[in-house]
Structure 1
Amino acid sequence: MRDMKADGVTLGIIGAGAMGSGIAQVAATGGIRVLIHDARAGAAEKACAAIAARLTKRAEAGKMDRAEAEAAIARLGAAEGMADMAPCDVVIEAVIEDLAVKRAVFAELEGVVAPDAILASNTSSLPIGAIAASSTHRGRIAGMHFFNPVPVMKLVEVIRAPETTDDVHAALMILAERMGRTPVAVRDTPGFLVNFGGRAYPTEALAILHERVAEPAAIDAVMRDGFGFRMGPFELMDLTGIDVNYPVTRFVHESAFGDPRLRSTPAHRYLFETGSLGRKSGRGFFAYDADGKALAHPDSGSTAEPAAAVVLDGDDPVLRDLVLASGATILDADDGVAPVLAAPLGEDATAHAVRRGLDARRLVCLDTVPDTSVRVTLMTAPGADPAIRDSVIARFAMARKVTAIQDSPGFIAQRIVAMVANLGCEMAQTGLAAPEDIDLAMRLGLNYPKGPLELADALGPDRVLEILTRLQALTGDDRYRPSQWLRRRAALGRSARMAA
């Protein structure tokens, strides 16, 4: 096996699509000779030309040294047939997500490359062990999952199959670094790390939509403004395409024997079946105008007279500061008329009113868990006085954006963030990767502001546990069952990132 740090390493790539071309580009700029093969006539040559054009453009824009660009272009070559892969030290297949096709590619490669050449799959979800099962030299087979667009996305998941040798795994970690990527070691499980861990963010948003708590634009706005996500879950699904995220969600859910934590909703399936695929089709969770801009309005407004005085239930300091900053007066005692404001954790307005013996008609609950400097989220119980609600909306809308939702245990942000954190804890519990790699992968692979275990620590494992426990009790749904990893660390007062 060749030293991946040495000069003269040759990489073969099977498949000249977006992924294969992207891998070829970062390999060539990393000083590696690249041979691209595609079963489609002329596809490999076109891929080489497209990569050369991109690198030339970068050099002309001053984003890359011209000599380095020319050297990288010179390292690219098109292979007419599979037999041309013979001199390759590593071959990465990047063909369609079909187990039989991938097995056939590996079987053909085994008859061509040297016995110590490494074979890797760029599959996003198929088990590496299943791909390797029909091969003769299974110890040299592993997964090397890149993310699209490869030149931009730094993460690479390096996956060990049951028989992958330590040397092969170590070589691929080095190869990824040489390509300028950040590798993380991941266990061979359905969806690997990112596609598995990335289910919580969209599926909990889908559950909230299914319950008619709020519309997609409102849910997106809450997650962007409240927790700093670059994209809300629905705009993210529309961007990647429902034809991509729905099949992956279904596959991961089925592979996990129907774990309710990974469950999607009928609306998700309906968009897939009707061809409403997101931006690419002009309609998904949102409709898009001719410029590709989503036609959506996330904010709640009110023409009511702003509430002048309110009663606070409890002593939440964030809620108190919000009210004082809004200019409203806080009454020392309930006058039986003013709005009653509360900040429940994991409860809906109904449960909070009953537990605390409050007048549900005047109760308005606000979520103080997310950042409230830009947007506040509020909800009321069924039968609440709309005039009371509207007066509170008007009060806070004077200085902030407001999202008014239907009654929901955990509002929007608490639910979604708790589910993201909980699934991250479960990934750590089942050993998909080391805690620090779970966080790193989710930040790099999905652009999360924090990794799931970091999110758990930011909220406090005890608060995340409380949110989930109340959600499970109020809904009766094991979707919200807390991970043992989370429960133990919350009970001990330890960090969610603490290794076992």
Structure 2
Amino acid sequence: MVSAGASASDPVAGPVVGIVGAGAMGQGIAQVAAQGGLRVLLQDARAGAAAAGREAVAARLARLVEKGRINAAAESAALARIEAVAGIAELAPAGLVIEAVVEDLEVKRAVFREIEAAVAPDCLIASNTSSIPVRSIARDCAHRGRVAGMHFFNPVPLMRLVELVRTVWTSEETLARLAALGRRMGRTPVVVQDSPGFLVNLGGRAFTTEALRIAQERVATPAEIDAIMRDCWGFRMGPFELLDLTGMDVNYPVTRIVWEGFGHDPRLATTPAHRAMAEAGLLGRKTGEGWYSYAGGRAADPPSPDWQGEAAPARRAALAGEAPALAALCRAAGLAVGADDGACPILAAPFGADATAVAVESGADHRRLVCLDLAGPNAGAPAARITLMTAPGADPAIRGAVAAALVAAGRKVTAITDSPGFVGQRICAMVANLGCAMAETGIATPEDIDTAMTLGLNYPQGPLALAETMGRERCLEVLDRLQAVTGEDRYRASPWLRRRAALGLPVQTPA
């Protein structure tokens, strides 16, 4: 795997990686491979595309020098390792060839046939596909044990994850060699079974599709949902911001592929609005219109997620049940807590239940009941956002008085309609449940699931770690309440989660 005639001091010395496809993904893979000390042969069927791809990498390396990320010597050495070649036959010296062409099965099969004819029998062959089963691509290969998926994430230089997709034929030696080469490229490899969406594109469905369902039910607006997930639960972006960033032309088809690939599992289903946005060309940032409007790449005059009103702050409240954290919040907001006088707000801080259930189970007057979500990891911060939820028929003046008291105490407030698990509990329970389902079906190990979701999607925690943070029993309570209220199989809890909650075991406990 070392180029002939290269010496130990030669900047192009090192294992040889061939890349077929010089588009955005191929360029990114070439860059991280070259920066990792690997010699790169970059090929594309389009005349001049490989050379143009090399120049694009050169421009990005130059910008890294300008920003002080690398020095000029590292820039020159990395660029010297990349060579544009005309045909696949010129990839013969490679010890690994990565295919990064269009997402078309027949095109990929044709490319793989050409690669196999050009390289040595021990050369690894990998596809960067994000949606096509790798076993379908490898079906006609003569040496299928050396074939796997090597799924990088865009933009490759910034995303530190690579999914190594194991087919029914992939050998352990192949996975070990790919993992070593992935680490040379500065990526963290995780081994994933060959299934629709692999790991990240499957696991990422819950965050966005549940947000879409919440908006469809008019529980909260996209801006409110995004603010809750950022401010209360620590996500870098809200689900609608993420949808606009990736684009409906990307995330809607991927969601559909994954949903269909898993037999129309309702846990993976999206909403009619998602499809409508894609078909209307409201794709997000790339078109200037999506869930938000954009100008110059930034959201233009986005709607406020904050409660706004003229109500006088409440001065006293009663509590529905024992709630030390809620009592402490009341003291901080200047709300005196006492017995229900028949006119004051009644406050509760449920986990899993909606306001209707709290009113029925506690006997509280639903017209004066205001539920507060104190479950998020940021909920205890002095300036954190608080989500308020009320039942149908609630007195808006009571809700306004409670909101005004919290705002006066320095809190941001978002007011939503009735929903089991508010917004944040509900989305996080679905994320955690899908992670447990992936562990149950052996798509990856619990550790790799959490690693992939944090590196691949920038989640504050992986889904199994999130289940532990929420509390596995509480996570289960949210799902069971949602299923009971909606009657939908969408909210069925994974047996993996249910069994570990019943036994008091961490959800990372292996089968």
Q: TM-score normalised by the shorter chain: which range applies?
A: over 0.9
- Are 1:328 and 2:335 counterparts? yes
Aligned equivalents of 1:83 and 1:315: distance in 2? 73
Candidates 325, 329, 347, aligned match of 1:318: 325
Q: State the match for 1:300 in structure 2.
A: 307
Equivalent residue letter for 2:403: I
The aligned amino acid for 1:39 is A
Q: How does 1:219-368 map to 2 (within 5 A)?
A: 219-290=225-296, 292-294=298-300, 295-331=302-338, 333-368=339-374
CA contact (8 A) 2:98 2:126 kept: yes
| 2:175 maps to 1:165 | no
CA deviations on 1:181-211 (whole Å, 9 max, x unpaired) are 1101111111011000011100110010010
Q: Give 2:208's aligned residue.
A: 202
- Structure 1: how far apart are the matches of 2:352 and 2:483? 9
Contact 2:292-2:299 within 8 A present in 1 as well: no
What is the correspondence of 1:414-453 to structure 2 with a 5 Å cutoff?
Answer: 414-453=425-464
Code of the aligned partner of 2:86: E
2:469 aligned residue = 458
Separation in 2, partners of 1:461, 1:77: 52
User: Is it true that 1:127 corresponds to 2:133 in the alignment?
Assistant: yes
Distance 1:490 1:259 in 2: 23
Aligned partner letter, 2:314: A
Cα shift at 1:346: 1.4
SS of 2:69's partner is: coil
CA, structure 1 residues 478+2, in 2 after alignment: closer, same or farther (shift >3 Å)? farther
Distance 2:326 2:102 in 1: 52
Give the distance between the partners of 1:57 and 1:472, measured in 2 at CA. Answer: 51
Supply the distance in 2 between the matched residues of 1:368 and 1:376 (Cα, whole angstroms).
7
Displacement after TM superposition at 1:355 (Å): 2.0
1:215 — aligned with what? 221
Superposed CA offset, 1:264-289 (max 9, x none): 00000000000000011111111223
Partner of 2:64: 58
- What SS class does the counterpart of residue 98 from structure 2 fall into? strand
Report the counterpart of residue 40 of structure 1 in structure 2: 46
2:124 corresponds to 1:118: yes
The residue matched to 1:307 in structure 2 has which SS?
A: coil
With over 3 angstroms needed to count, the CA separation of the structure-2 counterparts of 1:437 and 1:291, relative to structure 1, is closer
- Secondary structure of 2:370's aligned partner: strand
Counterpart check, 1:378 vs 2:385: no
Report deviation, 1:290: 4.5
Change (3 A) 1:77 1:135: same
Q: Cα–Cα, structure 1 residues 2 and 57, in superposed 2: closer, same or farther, change >3 Å? A: closer
Show the counterpart of 1:387.
Answer: 397
Task: Check the 8 A contact 1:60/1:66 in 2, yes or no.
Answer: no
Name which of 468, 479, 484 aligns with 2:479.
Answer: 468
Residue 101 of structure 1 corresponds to which residue in structure 2?
107
SS at match of 1:8: coil
Residue identity in the other structure for 2:100: A
User: What's the offset of the Cα at 1:65?
Assistant: 2.8
Separation in structure 1 between the aligned mates of residue 206 and residue 73 of structure 2, nearest angstrom: 45
Partners of 1:366 and 1:128 lie apart in 2 by 47
Q: Give unpaired runs (5+ residues) of structure 1.
A: none
**TM-score (structure 1 length as normaliser):** 0.97
Corresponding position: 1:183 with 2:194:
no
8 A Cα contact 2:321 2:362, kept in partner: no
Q: Is the Cα–Cα contact under 8 Å of residues 2 and 16 in structure 2 kept in the other structure?
A: no
Go from structure 1 to structure 2 and tell me whether the alpha carbon gap of 1:73 and 1:291 turns closer, same or farther (over 3 Å shift): closer
Does the CA-based 8 Å contact 1:307-1:391 persist in structure 2? yes
- Measure the CA separation in 1 of the matches of 2:66 and 2:334: 55
Name 2:508's counterpart in structure 1: 497
* Secondary structure of 1:111's aligned partner: helix
Aligned partners of 1:149 and 1:39: how far apart in 2? 22
Q: Which runs of 4+ in 1 moved over 4 A?
A: none
Distance in 2 (CA, whole Å) between partners of 1:289 and 1:111 is 49
Aligned AA (1:326): A
Contact 1:301 1:397 in 2 (8 A): no
User: Take 1:460 and 1:382, find their aligned partners in 2: how far apart are those partners?
Assistant: 29
Name the aligned partner's letter for residue 286 of structure 2: K
- 2:168 aligns to what SS in structure 1? coil
Amino acid corresponding to residue 301 of structure 1 in structure 2: Q
Provide the C-alpha distance between the structure 2 equivalents of 1:291 and 1:476, rounded to a whole number of angstroms.
41
The CA deviation at 1:60 is 4.1
Matching of residue 139 in structure 1 with residue 130 in structure 2: no
- The letter of the residue matching 1:129 is R
Task: Give the Cα–Cα distance (whole angstroms) in 2 for the partners of residues 62 and 235 of structure 1.
Answer: 30
Q: How many residues end up aligned between the 2 structures?
A: 497
Task: Give 3-state SS (helix, strand or coil) of 2:454's partner.
Answer: helix
